[in-house]
Chain A
Amino acid sequence: MKLTINGVERSFDTPPLTTLLHVLREELGITSPKAGCQQGGCGSCTILVDGAPRRACLLPVAAIDGAEITTLEGLGTPEALSPLQTAFHEHYAAQCGFCTSGMVLAAHGYLEAGGTPERESIQEALAGHVCRCTGYVKIINAVAAAAGGEIEATQRWLPQPGEEAPVGIPGAPA
């Protein structure tokens, strides 16, 4: 079977009902999607299948043979965060971080499908994602900010050699 993951084609041979989550984490070493419940109930395993958010723990790989998969690593890197990743960071939308991968990818799918900053629409898109740390408000703030185009296209957080690391987050909300 074949999957294109973050633009790279990977082949693997595994029983057809093996979940995508298992293939990603255990066979391909991509550990950003998490095994929070293995029942589709928490959303921490969500990745993009052909651009749409899906639960990796519920997908038999044979059902998506040949698909394009995007994981959190595929959205941006510490050197070049996507606007949405920047929004999550600036708005303190991650505490322990365990739900973050699923949240960001679901939010990304929402934005790509034309999602607006309207809070109720964001809540509907993220309804399947559980967070035990943040209380959700800052997550919704982050997605709303990204949807509203308030975030610059690229942000760099790692200081260049010789540069002093910035102390505060420029323009972060008080």
Chain B
Amino acid sequence: MKAVGARLPRYDGVAHVTGRTMYVDDIRVPGTLWTKALRSPVDHADITGLDVSKAESMKGVHAVVTWKDVPLLEYGHLSGLGIPADEPLLAKDVARYKGQPIAVVAAEDEETAQAAVEAIGLDLTERPALVDVRQAFNSDAPTVHHWGNWYPHFEGEMDRRQIRKGSIAEAFEQADLIVQGVYRPAAIEHVPIETQVCQVVPEADGRLTIYSCTQALYFSMGVVAAHLEVPLNKLKFVGGTVGGGFGGKVDTATETMCSLLALKAGRPVKWRWTREEEFLCSSTRAPWHMEIADAVTTDGWILGRKMLTLHDSGAYARFSPYGLTKHSFHHTGAYTIPNLEFDGYVVFTNRVPTTAMRGFGVTSVSFAVESHMSRIALELGIDPFEIRLRNANRKGDTSPNGIAYTDPSTIPTIQAVADELGHELSADYRTATSEPRTGEWLPEHLVGQLGNPEAH
């Protein structure tokens, strides 16, 4: 066990510092064609005409691919988790976000590919766009998605993630004060220094070799196989060398599109996104709208929490229902709140579909929960460390969905932070532990929520 505790060199470190690391764009395959995409220029429109004939017959153009060329046009990346397919690989009847790919072209060089894209005839009838999640529920809101304006396929065909615990009405009645807050973190673009890129080589034996920047090699392999309706052994994925992903390279579709181009052209095909495409058309971390109303006592107990979350999924579902589900579990944060009314919606807007990014689903709710704790502390005139320690999860406390905590670390963490900052805690808070609640840490209203920490 020599490695434990040792400062191990990165296995790719020497290659990085000597310029030897081969990213997808560094792979050189003779005869490779360049790809450019025709993308929707508007937020929302019916596609009434698509004519690729001029582009196809242009000198130097080897293939043009549209929705017609895709064996399975819609495949849900997370259909294994029960999220049905809703997004076409290439737009068919409607463009639902600015930048949505409608056609892709493979040509001898970048300028030819771009000229071919510009030669594609595209007829659109613009439709009103919905870009503010708060308006999604208005009766006169534009309709974004064929499922309606919010995702309706949670288990039991629920149209929201819903958590109910105890009695929120009682909590609000017994409260000394209701503390409200609205939290709206905006979208964040991953900005990997390597833009999205893919290289596909059609092999003589009929297989495809796909050099991919995906963060999830086997996952992407399944996606390509599904869209192409081929068995997995038809594909050879080469990857693992990623110039930054941060969650933005888990829902890549470039592999599928380049595969279709490569098969049609009979030539290797590469697609490297421009930085403009990366900023404007690649998926981002989602914007969220969260409203919290907490029923609190003057001595700092949180009796109940009412919360509404609107998650901006953009034009399609992708991973949003999964993100919202994680978010829902964590809506009490590291704290024990016995009465809960939580409703969370995955809302569709005419924006670039949102995706994973470092802790997605949870960073939003952590931000809101912690901001709200500090707000409560401010309104009650209570020390922000002490209000957290008072309400902190302890062994035997139960989560929003009723699971008893066996080993929460909230209290030692907060005490360590207080130590580090030189913040004085009064005696009771300085000596508090994560052991099951007793005495002053167990007011009447928390008795009913206790569970058995040994139950796992």
Contact = CB atoms under 8 A, between A and B. Distances in A.
Interface of A: 25, 29, 31-32, 34-39, 41-42, 44, 71-73, 75-78, 81, 85-86, 88-89, 92, 94-101, 104, 130-133, 157-158, 167-169, 172-174
Interface string B241-275: 01110100000000000000000000000001011
B18 A78 contact: yes
A109 B14 CA distance: 20
Contact of A131 (B21, B22, B193, B272): B193
28 contacts: A31-B19, A34-B25, A35-B25, A36-B275, A42-B275, A72-B18, A73-B18, A76-B18, A78-B15, A78-B18, A85-B18, A89-B9, A89-B13, A92-B10, A94-B16, A96-B192, A96-B242, A104-B17, A132-B191, A132-B192, A132-B193, A133-B244, A158-B14, A168-B9, A169-B7, A169-B8, A173-B7, A174-B7
B243 A97 contact: yes
A71 B19 contact: yes
A169 B10 CA distance: 10
A25 B23 CA distance: 12
Interface string B120-163: 00000000000000000000000000000000000000000000
B10 A98 contact: no
A34 B28 contact: no
B380 to A, nearest CB: 36
Contacts of A92: 10, 13
Contacts of B13: 88-89, 92, 94
A49 B190 CA distance: 31
B196 to A, nearest CB: 12
A96 B9 contact: no
B6 interface: yes
Judged by DSSP, the binding face of A is: loop
Contacts of A29: 28
A73 B243 contact: no
B26 interface: yes
Contact of B25 (A31, A75, A88, A94): A31
B7 A34 contact: no
B12 interface: yes
Contact of B17 (A25, A34, A89): A89
A132 B17 contact: no
Contacts of A168: 6-9
Nearest to B27: A31
B3 interface: yes
Given A89-B17, A97-B21, 8 more contacts: A34-B25, A34-B243, A38-B275, A39-B275, A94-B13, A96-B242, A98-B194, A104-B17
Contacts of A39: 275
B20 interface: yes
B112 interface: no
A98 B12 CA distance: 12
Name, among B6, B15, B23, B243, the residue most crowded by chain A CB atoms within 10 Å (CB to CB): B243
4 closest residue pairs by CB, A with B: A32-B19, A97-B16, A98-B243, A72-B19
A38 B18 contact: no
B195 interface: yes
B456 interface: no
Contacts of A133: 244
Name, among A89, A95, A99, A104, the residue most crowded by chain B CB atoms within 10 Å (CB to CB): A89
Contacts of A44: 193
A81 B18 contact: yes
B59 interface: no
A97 B12 contact: yes
A36 B194 contact: yes
